[in-house]
Amino acid sequence: MQDVLAMTYLWLKSGHIIFMVFWMAGLFMLPRQMIYCHDAAAGSEEEALWAKRMGLLRKIILTPSLIVVWVLGLLLAMQSGAFSLGWFHAKLLLVIVLTGYHGIMVARSKAMARGERPLTEKQLRVYGEVPGILLAFIVVLVVVRPF
């Protein structure tokens, strides 16, 4: 029985890491696509193309990956008893913040697809750094487990 639980844990962990990479890749790509859309003339074919690309990124990569990361992460936490560990609480908080960032960027990319420009190009460039910073803190918490 221990072997089955150990193998299940490793499969869950592998899936969690794989889909976390997909999710992060999408979160890195979305602000960049938004910058390209921002530069396109309103109502142009180029704007429509970037709007389509942003929609596909959201539907094919971002949202499905977010869901799988959360499901597998919660299963891992339950299986390993991580809910009682301080480092996990900090990680969970940062993942909640990252999920909020995801929601904000999806909403703003949808607004851009409608022809609105809710953010400046400079703001988009700054927003593009957020996932990398959060990822760095999350990885340190998981690997180092400082508390």
Number of residues that this document lists for the chain: 147
* Local structure of residue 47 (DSSP, 8 states): H
Element (H, E) at 32: helix 2-39
Which of these, 93, 75, 98, lies nearest to 14 by C-alpha position?
75
Element (H, E) at 39: helix 2-39
Q: Which residue has the tokens 């750094």?
A: 129
Cα–Cα distance, 47 to 130 (Å, whole number): 25
Question: Who's near 68: CB < 8 A, 6+ residues apart?
Answer: 15, 19
Query: Is 91 known as a binding-site position?
Result: yes
* Local structure of residue 60 (DSSP, 8 states): I
Annotated binding site: 16, 91
Annotated binding site for heme: 16, 91
